[in-house]
Structure 1
């Protein structure tokens, strides 16, 4: 409790996600429900023209992200022309968007619904719905459906890699905490949803849909032990 109080005193509006979102709303930025700014102290959201920035529902913003609604290039033009010509443009980020670490969203951009912006991307143009963008400047690299299919195809391979590397380095059997993103693969549907998976479902903002999916899809392994055996991890020896 003392730690949280000190954090709020030192970092003020950037002490945590809720505080930063509250601060931005008070300034006039329109922000929807279920949004998370993972590391506010490393994130800069331009509120000089708050009416120009709209952020939808369930937008997740990673560390180091910059969102700009203006720049100060007018100073260069003023030196040459003597005139002051502004460049303030709206930014709209629609529902269900993830903006990766150190990405920059420039003024005048609209990011559509269900979009993933890759880490380090510089977004200079509009991003269409249901798409994945990455690069400098950011370009569309695939649709959301293509990304889903690609990940599903490699899901078991990726899960095994996580389990094996943890086992090799830590010398311990990987548990549900280590494999939290892969619990759909082997969690028993007759049992209570594992705590780690339950928290992940809640965090997505789509608890009902993910819970429904969980109970309507047959797992690819009987349980965690069955999955670990498929990784060639001798659980019987380790459990002695």
Structure 2
């Protein structure tokens, strides 16, 4: 029962039991959290609230599991022990609009992530990242522009969807249901929104961009005539 799972999670994780509770709690602490901000597995995410006014998170931001956002640094404690000085360390963290932060990434004091940025898993950020780009690494470095990544994803979608279905067939011995291809329906769905499977239509609402997504969806053509045509193609590729 879903309600029972939610109740149990609330008891165990408190304000981190779900993303809405965590976002609300962070705002209450004084962290600037925009609209449509998602915390995936929020019980694994740490946002430093020692000085909450030093962190701002924009709109449409996706923060995935095991990420940390820190605005202070206690390494000066080693200097105090060695030299005696107390040298406090703090820096503002800015995460712009439309940003994806991959799993286990670390956002340190002084980080500035501009709009329309994708940050790969396990990255470390302590300086400014210009927007409209993809970054990854320790420290995070620019891999490509957002336009380049867009074209790369367009080219890779068919190959990855076919691989997904082929591996499913090899594993389970039968064809997958539509929900397994929830993120790949542009490949095989007709462009009549009113006839679109609800499982697929829901994705148009995910990122507060329904109007743009609907317009783009209607202006393109699928590579396959329908779902069954796509599955038949995948079956022919199974070795």
Partner residue, 1:68: 70
Work out which of the residue numbers 173, 176, 182 in structure 1 matches 2:175: 173
Cα distance, 1:124 vs. partner? 2.4
Question: What is the Cα deviation at residue 177 of structure 1?
Answer: 0.8
Structure 1 unaligned regions, length at least 5 = 235-240
Q: Structure 1 residue 6 and structure 2 residue 8: aligned?
A: yes
C-alpha separation in 2, matches of 1:54 and 1:202: 25
Stretch moving more, 6-15 or 100-109: 6-15
Q: Which residue of 2 aligns with 1:161?
A: 163
Distance 1:186 1:61 in 2: 30
Equivalent in the alignment of 1:89:
91
Listed as ranges, the matches of 1:58-207 within 5 Å are: 58-190=60-192, 192-207=195-210
Gaps of 5+ in 2: none
1:237 equivalent in structure 2:
none
Aligned-pair CA distance for 1:233: 4.4
Paired with 1:50 and 1:136, the residues of 2 have a C-alpha distance of: 25
Q: TM-score, normalised by structure 1?
A: 0.93
Deviation larger for 169-178 or 17-26 = 169-178
Question: What is the CA deviation profile of residues 17-42 of structure 1, one whole-angstrom value per residue up to 9, with x for unaligned ones?
Answer: 01111111000000000011011111
What is the CA deviation profile of residues 71-95 of structure 1, one whole-angstrom value per residue up to 9, with x for unaligned ones?
A: 1112112112222111110000000
Deviation at 1:212, TM superposition (A): 1.6
Structure 1: distance between partners of 2:44 and 2:100: 16
TM-score of the two chains, using structure 2 as the length reference = 0.94
**What is the match of residue 238 of structure 1?**
none
Q: Report Cα offsets for 1:45-72 as digits up to 9, x if no partner.
A: 1111100000000100000001110111
What CA distance in whole angstroms lies between the structure 2 residues aligned with 1:99 and 1:15?
Answer: 20
Find the residue that maps to 2:89 and give its secondary structure: coil
Pair 1:37 & 2:47 matched? no
Match of 1:226 among 224, 229, 232: 229
- Aligned to 2:100, what secondary structure does the other structure show? strand
SS of equivalent to 1:136: coil
* SS of alignment partner, residue 163 of structure 2: helix
CA distance in 1, matches of 2:54, 2:223: 47
Cα offset, 1:9, TM superposition: 2.1
| Aligned pairs, number | 234
Report the aligned-residue RMSD.
1.4
Query: Counterparts of 2:25 and 2:213 in 1: how far apart (Å)?
Result: 31
Question: Quick one: distance in 2 between partners of 1:173 and 1:3?
Answer: 30
Structure 1: distance between partners of 2:120 and 2:29: 28
Consecutive aligned runs of 4 or more in structure 1 exceeding 6 Å deviation: none
What SS does the corresponding residue of 2:129 show, helix, strand or coil?
Answer: coil
Distance across 2 between alignment mates of 1:228 and 1:153: 19
